[in-house]
Amino acid sequence: MKTSESHFKKNAEFYFRMTIAVLIVAILAVFILRFLYKKEHKPEAVSFINPQKTLLLSLENKTVTLEQLLINSNTLYLAIFDFRGCYSCTGRALDDLRSLQKEKKDCIAITIHDNFNDFKEWAQMENFNPIYMVKKNIFYEFIKTPYVPVIIEIKNGKIEFIRFISL
């Protein structure tokens, strides 16, 4: 009887260890895929409503419309984010734009904020150009996106590709 008890304990210990090992591998796989997988969504997830009324402020405190920015380029990469939001996500969005700029691609950053002085101070430290500010009420009225930060590829005025940035 002792041998069957001993055999049962060995089997139970083996199955317990195997279960723990499988759980560890599954958790590691989820974390690895989470960091490697870039969320890509259908372009319809983001839209601009009345780009001619979407007012942006430049670092020089000059007003420009989103429409003016969109029509000046065949292909444009646009990052929209709240610089007071996820710092890592904002940093990743700007790093992605910098990489695209090194490839000679047109890139613009737009941050959602209401205080021009805060925006200007932050933008000068961040050292990315061109960068614009959109006030929160204008953003919520004219730019529809389920998440920020987001990088949007626009070709000939049409949204072709979007990628939401997260940790």
In Å, what is the CA distance from 22 to each residue of 28, 33, 34, 115? 10, 16, 18, 50
In a shared domain, residues 31 and 96: no
In a shared domain, residues 119 and 136: yes
What is residue 166's predicted lDDT score, i.e. its pLDDT?
78
Tally of structural domains, the chain: 2
Nearest-angstrom CA–CA distance, 162 and 71: 18
Q: Is the pLDDT of residue 64 over 90?
A: yes
In a shared domain, residues 68 and 146: yes
In a shared domain, residues 71 and 143: yes
In a shared domain, residues 1 and 47: no
Nearest-angstrom CA–CA distance, 37 and 49: 30
Tokens 């049409």: give the residue.
158
pLDDT in tens, 1-49: 555 666 667 777 888 888 999 999 888 877 666 655 555 566 677 888 8
In a shared domain, residues 77 and 147: yes
pLDDT in tens, 116-152: 999 999 998 888 889 999 999 999 999 999 889 999 9
In a shared domain, residues 131 and 75: yes
Tokens representing residue 96 in the block:
């992605």
For 91-100, letters b (16+ CB in 10 Å) and e give ebbbebbeeb
What is residue 43's predicted lDDT score, i.e. its pLDDT?
66
In a shared domain, residues 62 and 26: no
In a shared domain, residues 19 and 59: no
Domain extent at residue 22 = 1-37
Nearest-angstrom CA–CA distance, 145 and 125: 27
Q: What is the DSSP letter of 49?
A: S
